[in-house]
Structure 1
């Protein structure tokens, strides 16, 4: 869940029957009190398929991740339906000569795939991150070539597909090709 190699596999088109739910999507900090909700998606093999991490096997693992990675992270949010976390989204800032770029990553519980929730969350981040971090000029996302659902999420959120990075990352012991998407600060007024 630390890098954007983790994107949900997304099935189906957004349905107008979910408009009410989409209006209730919020982003907020994830904290230790969310551990039970976090474990729902963190233990799901379908969710972890394109992620850098394996499904979590214990609540202690989840607690340690939240304590050590999430809480100190400069921009990590729970994707909430109402106030219930159903996934997470983060932006990692680069530094030095790369400080103009940030990397987007997200994960969503599999029971919420195909409902437009990930697209809505990505749009919410795109609409605020360039204001919150004015040094950013470019937001990037890397997606496994086999994860067509996540590619559609980014396209619907206004990201541009830039190309395939061949043999770009080792994911679960296997070299994978990744598709790179970007959104420029001038494009973020979606």
Structure 2
């Protein structure tokens, strides 16, 4: 009986955290929250970057990369950043598509937060960027949790791109996911 009530409590807490979910620009003043996930080896395992080891590097990243980025948001619970999500635009003949990326503090994994954040992005990005026809995401084949996020958010799994990407010194197989603006509208 007690184990059941703990599970129900955890599910209620997860739902409450999702209710207080918002996306907003990540600011320099958020560096301490940023360092929580950016310095965690579990979190950065599938990221293109190594864990941050000092606050100064984190500040420089926020100032030089995040602030000028055209669409980079903090994933917030009660307005406190617990992760980040971005859409990177392509240019030229590829400007019809953008790439989605996200990261979340390990403490918040498995609570539906990133799935909800991805859905929030989808609800706005095709309106904010009317030239965008395709939103895509590349996910390491071993990152099953991230694949599940995209499936729950309505993305289509297109296939595995073998030896597609070098990540931390190893060539990796990546799974391509996409969502078209017409998928979203229907």
Could you state the TM-score of these two structures normalised by the residue count of structure 1?
0.91
5 Å matches for 1:1-190? 15=11, 17-189=13-185
Structure with the bigger percentage of helix: 2
CA–CA distance in structure 2, aligned partners of residues 46 and 17 of structure 1: 23
Flag the structure with more relative contact order, 1 or 2, with Cα contacts below 8 A and sequence separation at least 6.
Answer: 1
CA–CA distance in structure 1, aligned partners of residues 84 and 126 of structure 2: 19
Q: SS of the residue aligned with 1:34?
A: helix
Root mean square deviation of aligned Cα: 1.3
CA–CA distance in structure 2, aligned partners of residues 174 and 95 of structure 1: 28
Q: SS of the residue aligned with 1:188?
A: helix
CA–CA distance in structure 2, aligned partners of residues 98 and 34 of structure 1: 33
- In the TM superposition, what whole-angstrom CA distance separates every residue of 1:79-103 from its partner, at most 9, and x where no partner exists? 0001100000000000111010000
Task: Give the gaps of 5 or more residues in structure 1.
Answer: 1-13
Could you state the TM-score of these two structures normalised by the residue count of structure 2?
0.93
Task: Give the gaps of 5 or more residues in structure 2.
Answer: 1-9
State the number of aligned residues: 177
**C-alpha contact (below 8 Å) 1:76/1:89 kept by paired residues:** yes
Q: SS of the residue aligned with 2:132?
A: coil
**C-alpha contact (below 8 Å) 1:127/1:189 kept by paired residues:** no
CA–CA distance in structure 2, aligned partners of residues 149 and 183 of structure 1: 18
